[in-house]
Structure 1
Amino acid sequence: MYRKDNISNNYFFRKARRSVGLMKKIEQVSRKEIDDSWNAVEQILQASEQEKIKKTRYRLVWTSVAAMLVLGAAVFSTLYLIPSESSLVAALHESSMLADSTTEISLITSSNHLKLEDESVLNYDSNGKVSINKQQVQSVRNVDAAKNEKELNHIIVPKGRRMNITFEDGTKIYVNAGSHVIYPAVFDKKKREIAVEGEVYLDVARDPKRPFIVKTGKFDVKVLGTVFNVTAYKEDKSASVVLVKGCVEVETNTKEKVMMSPDQRVSITDGKTSTEKVNVFKYICWKDNLMYLKNDRTGDVLNRVARYYGVNIRYDEQVADIPISGKLDLRGDINSVLDVIEESVSVKFVCDSSGGFHLSLK
């Protein structure tokens, strides 16, 4: 999937590519650019869906009796049914081992396990019936819509993959690499609730009678209808919410509540909450396959790149704290991205025997 040519043989070719300026200069990003970015994603998704109608491939794997026995009745109830509000987050924890070991995008219900292609698009109707890239899949739902309100669906997106979901209420969610989302096929009549581990961008359909609640291991976000980004990877020290438009309430595990306004970011680090005004484009452009940097730690950037491409990247301690600024275009291969970083912060990278990369100072 990724180019693993000998580095010395391609050294001058990579130098030539750098001259075209893959890393753009920092510039003020306007609200128009954010709106244009959103419109571009919508157009790409529409085109992608039309193309995938012709070539969708998926594998339906029925859950074995033996696997169900191993899970046991108690774990089954936690993973796939909704006995209480806390069960959504509990289900994330209970299924973390499964999520960590998954190498393909997976849709998991109480009865089956569906493998999906990268950039797949799921759509649910009002009865919980799901279609994948506009092709209907009958077997991943109950006939009884009331039962779908109680049954949990799991979407697991491994590193190096991304996908999109439209829920039955019209809410759109873009799921980034290395993420896990749990939700009912049909939302409750009084609330719409999902659990997230990783990163998602949501455009929530307005419904004053049913608040939309995003639960994570560190905080909950409650909205009626708005656009925002949630980042809550279990391996990261910090978790955050960035509000694009509308209004949301964030409640931490310590019951601290914060009302957010557009262009604000709420971060939770080691139990402490902070609020700041930000350029939201920086935090949502991942859905456009971009990374916007402004004095970011190179170590943090490399961790995000590794997650995005699903590869292992190691770096020396001296590299981690070097600041880096600019825009990274993630539509190319991993080598192209590392070329840009290599030139921007005066580091060098080599491929290791496992297919990963190691970066050190020049």
Structure 2
Amino acid sequence: MEPKYQHCNIYELIEDKQFVAWVLKGSKNQEWENFVKENPGMNDKIRRAREIILLLRDSYDVLDENSVIDMWRNVERFNYRYKIKNRSIRFRRALSLAASVLLVLSVGVIGSLYLANNKENNYQFVAKNISEKDDEAKVFLPNGKEVKINEDNSTISVNNNNKLVINNQEITDITDKETEKKGEVRMNEVVIPYGNKSEIILADGTKVWLNAGSRLAFPTKFTGEKREVFLEGEACFKVTKNEHQPFVVKASDVAIKVFGTHFNISAYPSDPNIETVLLEGSISLTNKKTLGLGKNEIMLKPNQRAVYEKEHKEVVVSDESNADIYIAWTEGWLQFSKESLKSVFTKLERFYNIEVILPENFPSSELITGKLDLKNSLEDVLVALSDVAKIEYRISNNKIYVDKKMNLMNRR
């Protein structure tokens, strides 16, 4: 056994994977028993650390070493937030605190989304992160196959024979017999690079418009109690109604539950917010609170917009009299109302796969209103935008250098 354990305190033992593995699974049992005999001064610390680990395990009967350590760290963060910083408190007080926190965890007020989001919301895409260098849309199948899509705009679906159909052409059989035998649900992944977009028809007839720089994971067939998909980026959903099998979209820290409705969600990893706009029907938006301790659930009505602030884990809901502008991109338009120039440039970067470079003193928070036809060339769009926003620009390969007209005049 490593000498370092002779100097560990209770908290260091709880955060050590080998120690936790011994307590949970009996890993290296003989070595640890010898260590306990040879170091009687550590007996009390080991006993106390074991009690806390077992308490964590008993609250959730399927915890491994990593889950126990993560849960303990979450409790520690909770303690710190409430000014419980004194490491010299008696063990009974510490254990009582952990037990009280875990009791609340077990009834779902604290930590319900800690486990749920880490095991469910945070789907791990097989495809690599999208970069500006990617120029082909792709479909990654559960059997490991990769299908490339040459067109900038595509339509993807799965027919009744489990054949992947791209732009009305049957491509391949995506039946995964081994997975079906085991009753597992494995995902297909559609990856749309910057400069492209796609329309996807899911097995239940739900239509999904996937915007540039986005990824969607979905099963070949929907089984079980809910229809679940995972999104990174922006998509517009028109969901087929099924009261007995609700449709759930999970995007980072947010889950949206619907029965049949029309809505748009923008959840790009690089954006500070996740935005959802409801056009028809009703949806519930669930997000985790600060530190992942607990959850909020908010109901949205048609023509409402919910903005989830990732940093503060808060949701702000507002009425939108013209909600259609948020799905104008599905028809090839970028429509904006009192939107910051920086936000508009970010959307143009994704759609045209370009990089917009602004000077340090550029007033990027300035709000503008307008409508751009994305079916036009980049040059035409920039000409139109320059009239609305009073900007000058220069194109160099895929980089656009922008400045305000008045700034140029002032320099003269």
Please report how far the alpha carbon of residue 88 of structure 1 lies from its aligned counterpart in structure 2 after TM superposition: 5.5
Q: Tell me which of the two structures has the higher relative contact order, counting C-alpha pairs closer than 8 angstroms and 6 or more residues apart.
A: 1
Give the secondary structure class of the aligned counterpart of 2:216: strand
Structure 1 residues 85 and 293: alpha-carbon distance in aligned structure 2, compared to 1, 3 A threshold: closer
Following the alignment from structure 1 to structure 2, what is the Cα–Cα distance between the partners of residues 187 and 171?
11
Which deviates the most, 306-315 or 138-147? 138-147
Residue identity opposite 1:305 in structure 2: L
Query: d(CA) in 1 for partners of 2:168 and 2:153?
Result: 13
Equivalent position SS for 1:268:
strand
> Aligned AA for 1:142?
D
Letter of the 1:308 partner, please give it: F
DSSP 3-state at the match of 1:207: coil
RMSD of equivalent CA atoms: 2.1
User: Post-superposition shift, 1:91?
Assistant: 3.3
If the length of structure 1 is used for normalisation, what is the TM-score? 0.72
User: Equivalent of 1:336, from 370, 380, 399?
Assistant: 380
Name the structure 2 match of 1:314.
357
Matched, 1:185 2:216: no
1:104 to 2:136 alignment = yes
Distance 1:96 1:145 in 2: 20
CA distance in structure 2 between the partners assigned to 1:221 and 1:300 by the alignment = 24
Partner residue in 1 for 2:306: 266
SS at match of 2:222: coil
**Gaps spanning 5+ residues in structure 2: where?**
1-115, 290-294, 406-412
Instruction: Give the counterpart of 1:234 among 254, 264, 269.
Output: 269
1:108-139 residue CA offsets vs partner (Å, 9 max, x unmatched): 02321011122111111356432112211234
Match of 2:171 among 123, 126, 137: 137
CA distance in 1, matches of 2:138, 2:341: 31
Q: 1:232 to 1:185 in 2, by over 3 A?
A: same
Q: Is structure 2 residue 403 aligned with structure 1 residue 360?
A: yes
- Please give the per-residue CA displacement for 1:12-63, whole angstroms capped at 9, x wherever unaligned: xxxxxxxxxxxxxxxxxxxxxxxxxxxxxxxxxxxxxxxxxxxxxxxxxxxx
> How many residue pairs are counted as aligned between the two chains?
277
1:120 equivalent to 2:120? Answer no
Tell me the SS of whatever aligns to 1:337: helix
Specify the SS of the correspondent of 1:206.
coil
Contact 1:263 1:280 in 2 (8 A): yes
1:305 is paired with a residue whose SS is helix
CA contact (8 A) 1:208 1:224 kept: yes
Unaligned runs of 5+ residues in structure 1 are 1-83
- For residues 163 and 252 of structure 1, what CA distance do their matches in structure 2 show? 27
CA distance in 2, matches of 1:108, 1:102: 15
Pick one of 177, 199, 205 that aligns with 1:170.
205
Distance 1:266 1:89 in 2: 18
CA distance in 1, matches of 2:192, 2:180: 27
Query: How far does residue 96 in structure 1 lie from its aligned partner after superposition?
Result: 6.6
- Structure 2 SS opposite 1:338: helix
Alignment map for 1:191-206 (pairs within 5 Å): 191-206=226-241
Asked if 1:323 corresponds to 2:367, the answer is yes
Q: Does 1:351 align with 2:385?
A: no
Percentage identity across paired residues of the two chains: 25
Q: Does 1:256 align with 2:296?
A: yes
Q: Find the structure with the greater CA-based Rg.
A: 2
